[in-house]
Structures are given as C-alpha cells and as structure tokens.
C-alpha cells in the first residue's frame, strides 16, 4: 500500500491524499495512487483553472462541438466541418527539445483524427529566451527540427505560426502546436465508452516505459536538473502515426466504432477513465493483454506510460474481427484488453486478480477544484509608470526602423519555415509569412484561414487588455486574408497557479478573452491550460495564445499582405494614437517594457473586420495587412517584402502626434490595404458605411522606402535587415 510520503512524491497534497483515503475507505495501492495522482494533476484535471474557464463563450451558430472532447468542431457548410485544437508541450521541449516538440505534433494530430477528421494543416506558436544564449540556439534548433521531422514525415503541412524571443522564456520555452482537420457532419466520432459488454480495444504501437509521470512533470515547476526528467519525455514515431491515422479513418467507415480516445497525457489511464466518465459507465482492463515492448512492466507502469501512437476504442460487440483485419493490414498492434461495465469503476485486473479498483467519479467529477487566491502583483504599479516625455525621439528614424526589422522577434523566420513542408497534400494557398495561412478544401470553392497570436508583453502589462487584443488581432488577421472569423482554440501558458499574482494574471486574461470572443462572435471551442511555466520563482510572461479559424467561401477571393503593382494606392484603415506603451519599438530601441498596452475598442474592431470582409468580397483589395508589433512602419515594410519580389513605396503620414508614434505606435483596429486607384470610391463607401476611418497615405512603386519627412532608405536595405536579423541574432552568442 502507499503512504502519505509516496503521495507527496506523486504531486498530491496531504489534503488530496486524505480525500482519496476517505473515499476509498482504505489506503490506495501504488497503482491506484499513480492513477489518481496523474488524473488529479493540474495538466489533466484543470483543478486551478476550471472555475475561470467557465467564463468563456462556447456556443454559436457554427459550433458543433465545444470544449470537453478531443477537439472543437465548427460547421463550414455543405455538410462539412472543421476540427481543430491547440496544445502545449512546453516542459518536455525544454528537457528534450526534438522529441518534446515532435510528440507535441503527434499528440495534437491524434486529437484531430480521433474525431473522425483527416488533418490538413499545422501551425506552431513558439517562444524562446535571449537568442544570444547558446541554450536558446540549442532549443530553437531542436524544437524546429522536431516539429519539421514529425510533420514532414507524416505528411501534414506546417503552414504558418509565430516565433517570439524574450528573456522571460530563458528557463522555460513555450511550444504550442495547432492542428486542423476536415470531416463530414455525419462522420464525427467522440470518446464514449458505451454499451454494456462492448469490447475495449487497444491499437497502435506497443507500450514502453517512456513518458511515465509526464502529466505530473507538466504540472510542476522546474526545481531540479532537467536531465533527471528525460525519462518523462515521450518518444515519437511519425511513420507509425501515419499508419494509425489511415487505419482509424478506414475503420470509421465500417460502422464498428462506438467511441475512440487518444492515449495522451496519463496514457491508458486518461483515455479509459475519460471515455467512461462521458458515458456514465465503467471499464474493466485486463492489463496483461496490453501489448508491450519492454519486459516485466508493472500495472503501474502500463497504466501511466505515455508511449506515443496509441489509441483506445470501444467497438460494437462482434465487430472485433473487422477492426483487427484493418489494423493488422496496416502493421499495427490490436488487442481486446477489456470491456465496458455498469459498475461506474475503473477496474484493473492482472491474471484474473484485481490489482486496482477506483470509482470513475473519484477520478473525474470528485477531483479537486480550487478557486485559488489572486491579487494584483506589485510589479503592475511600477510598470504602469511611463512618462513618454522622458523618452527621446530618435534623430534617425530610418536607423530605428532597421533595428526593429532586424530584431529576432520581428525579423524574417525563413530559417525556420524552410524546414517545414508547406505544400504536401497540395492544399496550401498562402505560404508562411502572410497574416494567416490559407488552405483550400478540395472538391469545393472554399478555403479555411487560420492564425495563432499573442503579445505576451501586453499580457504582462495588462492581462485583460492583452488577452482581448490576442483575440482581436487573430480576427483581424483572418479578415485581412478575406476570411470570416468563426471560432477559437486557445493555449493558456502561465506560471504557478499557487502564486496569487499568477492567478490574477490568469483570471484577468480569461476575462479579456471572453469579452472579445463574445463581441466578435468567435466562441472558444477547444483549448489547453499550461501552468507551472517557471523555473524556481521566475515565471514566463502570461501567454494566452489564441488560435482562430475563419472561412473563405470562394478561395479565389483570398487576400495576402504583399503589395502587388506599381501605382496601386496605399490606404490606412483606422486611426493612429500616441500609444507607445508595451511596444516593440519601446522595447528594442529604448530597452523599456512599461506603460499600458494600446487601448482596444471592440466596436471599432468589429467595424474594421466587417469593412475588410466586404472589400475582399467585392474583389477590390490587392493586399491587406493588419497593424500589430512594430506599428505602421513595420506593416508597410512587411507589405513590401513579397516572397518573389520587393516593392518600393512613397508615403506621407498626416498627424500631429510625436513622430515615433506615427511610425511605431501599436494602436489597434488598423490595417494597411492597397488597391487600384479606380476602386477608391468603392472602398470609401464601404468604410463610411461601417464607420471606419480611412486615409490615402501613398503609392506603391520605386526603389525606396520613403515616408515623407520621417524615413528615406533604399527598400533593399530594409529587406536585407529583415532577412538577416534572425540568423544574426542566433550567431551573436559566439562573440559573447
């Protein structure tokens, strides 16, 4: 039997252990303790976040499946639906960057095809520490190689994402992966263990000892040497996952499947108990029937292993032969390991003897839920003290722009994107680099646009506004691409929930996301919470990453961010305010991360989105690019840097605010568009009817990047700074 010390070593508190003893009427044995510790971990139970997550809007006209399943599902018309989700693999990627990132991709893909959908696209959202540190270069190389290695091998294109650098991530990088798939509304599968006596089936790879305690490891801060935790990191095999994907999709067409669940965090434990919980049933597992690749594994090890490329499913009784033939054909393990019961318990048997017996209710609905204390952290008062009068305007604003363009966060990430196969399956319409990735839906005129966004500096300075801006920018990215925003998945990365300051950040970010999602009609349909992203007492900036999906009804009307033709008119939509707090300009040029983030007017944001969609529908926009980090100057520059060519511009900016604010303010609800001069009248009518400010600011053409009275540099010089900045930042450690 286990004892309190063993329970504490498993991450349980004394109070939690006592609750287990009281409910069972006895001390749990080691297998039972391991099961409960894994399922009660922060990673699996959401015990500190659940009370706040209830604030999210989760329903809408397009929503078919909201939170609570493997992935969210939205209706995209014509009997089709999009299935998508985002997850984190932060701790594993710090410990073993290649396998940590690779298995993060594998896990999120299984979440998608478990629902009956064929995955068609991957995005990543990555955050690393100071690029001058050798450790950062090591992590970047390993993580990117892991994502590329898994995605490329399984044949799912990685079509976009984002990469940020900040010292706050030195001890804890963030690796968030988004995946999207397509299926028909009448071909959706869910994780239910229904039907008394129905067989419980194990399929996929054999079970090993890799990944044991992975869920618990993801629910604690780093306080020991990372090398000690390598056994908790799973090992992925994308070739086996490809076989598993095809076998599952083939089996789905037979009508044999009652329910199916990916074996992710906590492995066989989580998949079996979650399926039983949803169905209100029980499950009996004969542990000796689980295929293994290592000898002498205990029931504890088998139940908690997080070996990859495995599924648990419930079949209609009598259909075992149909399923086995399919999985054997694909060279995968297949084993009947148990059955659905009406006991309401998870029962683990070995050689006819019960080795663990735990009520499903104790594992799930009776798991602890905490409304943890929260309070505004002390740093907020200090960081809000920003006196712009003490911040000088640079004498050479062109040099300031070049420095921003070459900063690792804003510079081109070709070194990363070139490792990903963007074009496999030939659905990709817009390559990485534009506001959103666009993937066509074969056999239709439709396309899906997708994006991931979060400005963690904003969230550090004001989590409410930062969370809301992450939603608004995501919607703006989609609208600039010609897509109507539909729904959200999230990956909420924060420090320890046991810190009142962190819980305040989390609570406020949730409130901001909720308000923006409600106002912009983009409900949250899936997501993930990742706490304990800190080393010792040093937490990462709050990083609630938003993934958003939008629909383009006619793929021919998609829009990209790059200027197209000489003579086209450049138009600024929205208004620029003197808002430099929290900007990349302030951070990179003046070394200041302070002030408040820019204000967000959700009505103005909604108006802008509506105007952009109307203009793209009429086919008058040649380009559209949202304004975010780096402000107007960065947006104009990025619009000049098309993959195949470089465009010059001549621009004049009206306004009485300070010159650096005109260029680098990150005021929200703005976009830069270009169009033929003859279509200006149409655009003006659209903006007037939607109450969107509109200013004609210049034209495309020439060899210069000219903003009258402010910046006059060759556009080739601007592009060179942008194209080499990231690579140079990773090399700089050699000179340190």
What residues act catalytically?
Answer: 43, 89
Q: Is 311 helix (H, G, I), strand (E, B) or coil?
A: strand
Q: Is 698 helix (H, G, I), strand (E, B) or coil?
A: strand
CA triplet 435, 100, 501: central angle to 5 degrees? 70
Q: Phi, psi (5° rounding) for residue 512?
A: -65, -45
Taking a C-beta distance cutoff of 8 angstroms, is the pair 170, 240 a contact?
no
State how far the Cα of 616 lies from the Cα of 476, in Å rounded to an integer: 13
Task: Give me the sign of the Cα torsion angle 532, 534, 538, 543.
Answer: negative
Q: Is 629 helix (H, G, I), strand (E, B) or coil?
A: coil
Nearest to 354 by CA among 441, 282, 436: 282
Q: Is 669 helix (H, G, I), strand (E, B) or coil?
A: coil
Q: Sheet containing 569-573: which strands, arranged edge to edge?
A: 623-626, 671-675, 569-573, 694-700, 649-651, 704-707, 711-714
State how far the Cα of 145 lies from the Cα of 42, in Å rounded to an integer: 29
State how far the Cα of 55 lies from the Cα of 405, in Å rounded to an integer: 38
State how far the Cα of 687 lies from the Cα of 261, in Å rounded to an integer: 48
Per the document, the length of the chain is 736
State how far the Cα of 573 lies from the Cα of 708, in Å rounded to an integer: 19
Question: Where does residue 380 rank: exposed (0-12), middle (13-18), buried (19+ CB within 10 A)?
Answer: middle
| Count of CB atoms situated within 10 Å of the CB of 328 | 12
Chain centroid to CA 25: 42
Instruction: Work out whether strand 694-700 and strand 623-626 pair parallel, antiparallel, or are unpaired.
Output: unpaired
Chain centroid to CA 178: 5
> Looking only at Cα atoms, what is the longest distance across the chain?
84
Packed helices 97-113 and 134-154: angle between N→C axes, nearest 10 degrees: 30
* Eight-class DSSP state of 412: -
Packed helices 238-252 and 97-113: angle between N→C axes, nearest 10 degrees: 10
- Give the dihedral of Cα atoms 429, 66, 104, 238; nearest 10 deg: -70
Q: Which residues are CB-neighbours of 165 under 8 A, at least 6 positions away? A: 127, 128, 129, 130, 131, 136, 408, 409, 729
Taking a C-beta distance cutoff of 8 angstroms, is the pair 528, 492 a contact?
yes
Q: Is 165 helix (H, G, I), strand (E, B) or coil?
A: strand
């Amino acid at each position: 039997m286990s004892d309190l010390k063993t329970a504490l070593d498993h991450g349980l508190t004394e109070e939690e252990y006592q609750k287990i003893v009281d409910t069972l009427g006895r001390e749990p044995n080691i297998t039972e303790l391991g099961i409960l510790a894994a399922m009660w971990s922060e990673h699996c139970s959401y015990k500190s976040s659940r009370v706040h997550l209830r604030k999210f809007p989760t329903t809408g006209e397009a929503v078919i499946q909201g939170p609570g399943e493997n992935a969210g599902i939205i209706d995209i018309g014509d009997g089709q639906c999009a299935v998508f989700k985002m997850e984190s693999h932060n701790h594993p990627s710090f410990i073993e960057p290649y396998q940590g990132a690779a298995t993060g991709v594998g896990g999120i893909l299984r979440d998608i095809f478990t629902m009956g959908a064929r995955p068609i696209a991957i995005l990543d959202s990555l955050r690393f520490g100071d690029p001058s540190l050798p450790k950062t270069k090591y992590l970047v190389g390993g993580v990117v190689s892991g994502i590329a290695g898994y995605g490329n091998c399984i044949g799912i294109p990685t079509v976009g994402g984002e990469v940020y650098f900040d010292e706050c991530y030195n001890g804890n990088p963030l690796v968030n992966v988004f995946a999207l798939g397509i299926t028909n509304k009448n071909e959706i599968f869910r994780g239910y263990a229904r039907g008394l006596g129905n067989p419980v089936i194990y399929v996929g790879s054999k079970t090993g000892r890799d990944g044991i305690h992975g869920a618990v490891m993801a629910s604690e801060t780093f306080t020991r040497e990372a090398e000690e935790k390598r056994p908790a990191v799973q090992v992925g095999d994308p070739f086996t996952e490809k076989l598993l994907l095809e076998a599952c999709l083939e089996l789905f067409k037979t009508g044999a499947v009652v329910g199916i669940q990916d074996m992710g965090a906590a492995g066989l434990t989580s998949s079996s108990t979650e399926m039983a919980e949803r169905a209100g049933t029980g499950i009996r597992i004969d542990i000796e029937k689980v295929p293994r690749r290592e000898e002498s594994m205990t029931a504890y090890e088998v139940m908690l292993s997080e070996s990859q490329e495995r599924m648990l499913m419930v079949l209609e009784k009598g259909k075992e032969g149909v399923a086995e033939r399919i999985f054997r054909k694909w060279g995968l393990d297949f084993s009947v390991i148990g059955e659905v019961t009406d006991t309401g318990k998870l029962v683990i048997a070995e050689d006819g003897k019960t080795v663990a017996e735990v009520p499903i209710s104790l594992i799930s609905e009776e798991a602890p839920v905490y409304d943890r204390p929260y309070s505004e952290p002390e740093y907020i008062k200090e960081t809000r003290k920003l006196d712009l009068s003490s911040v000088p305007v640079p004498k050479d604003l062109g040099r300031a722009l070049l420095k921003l363009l070459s900063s690792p966060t804003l510079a081109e990430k070709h070194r990363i994107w070139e490792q990903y196969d963007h074009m496999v399956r030939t659905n990709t319409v817009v390559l990485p680099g534009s506001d959103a990735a666009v993937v066509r839906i074969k056999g239709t005129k439709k396309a899906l646009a997708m994006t991931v966004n979060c400005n963690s500096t904003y969230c550090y300075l004001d989590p409410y506004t930062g969370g809301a801006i992450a939603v608004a920018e995501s919607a703006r990215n989609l609208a600039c691409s010609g897509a109507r925003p539909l729904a959200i998945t999230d990956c909420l990365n924060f420090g320890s929930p046991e810190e009142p300051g962190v819980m305040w950040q989390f609570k406020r970010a949730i409130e901001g996301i909720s308000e923006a999602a409600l106002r912009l009609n983009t409900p949250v349909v899936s997501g993930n919470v990742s706490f304990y992203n800190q080393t010792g007492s040093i937490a990462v900036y709050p990083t609630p990453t938003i993934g958003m999906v939008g629909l383009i009804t006619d793929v021919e009307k998609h829009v990209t961010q790059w200027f197209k033709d000489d003579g086209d008119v450049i138009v600024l939509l929205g208004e620029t305010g003197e808002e430099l707090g929290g900007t990349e300009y302030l951070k990179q040029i003046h070394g200041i991360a302070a002030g408040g983030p820019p204000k967000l007017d959700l009505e103005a944001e909604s108006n802008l989105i509506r105007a952009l969609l109307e203009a793209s529908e009429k086919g008058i926009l040649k380009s559209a690019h949202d304004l975010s980090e780096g402000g107007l100057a960065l947006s104009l520059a990025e619009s000049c840097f098309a993959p195949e060519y470089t465009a010059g511009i001549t621009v004049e900016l009206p306004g009485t605010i300070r010159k650096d604010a005109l260029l680098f303010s990150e005021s929200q609800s703005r976009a830069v568009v270009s169009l033929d001069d003859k279509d200006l009248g149409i655009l003006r009518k659209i903006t007037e009817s939607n109450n969107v400010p509109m200013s004609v600011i210049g034209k495309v053409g020439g060899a210069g990047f000219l903003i009258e009275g402010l910046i006059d540099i060759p556009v080739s010089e601007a592009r060179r700074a942008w194209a080499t900045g990231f690579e140079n930042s990773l090399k700089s450690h050699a000179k340190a």
